[in-house]
Amino acid sequence: MNNVKLEFVAGITMPGGKVIERRVDADDGIPAADDFDASSKEGFLESFDALEKVALQARNKIAKDIADAYLEEVSKKTNSIPPVKAAP
């Protein structure tokens, strides 16, 4: 595997203009273009599966991270909502 990196960046812009931003990098297990097996249906599906697994894990992490950051910001503003973490 050659240094293929997936990056997700998520941002929430609050009404006052403050931006909450989180970033997730994933670079473990994505096949490089030269390693992606398109020579057969089975090879393609295996290579695509590797890409999809990394993408889904990163997507889930960025969604959790940005939701946690938003809830933390909201709890600072309202004082009536205790800080909570988004469900895993």
**pLDDT tens-digit map of 8-67:** 999 999 999 999 999 999 988 899 999 999 999 999 999 999 999 999 999 999 999 999
Q: E strand or H helix at 86, and its extent?
A: none
Predicted local distance difference test score (pLDDT) of residue 52: 95
This prediction has a pTM of 0.77
CA angle 33, 39, 44 (to 5 degrees): 65
Query: What's the chain's Rg over C-alpha atoms?
Result: 18
Predicted local distance difference test score (pLDDT) of residue 43: 95
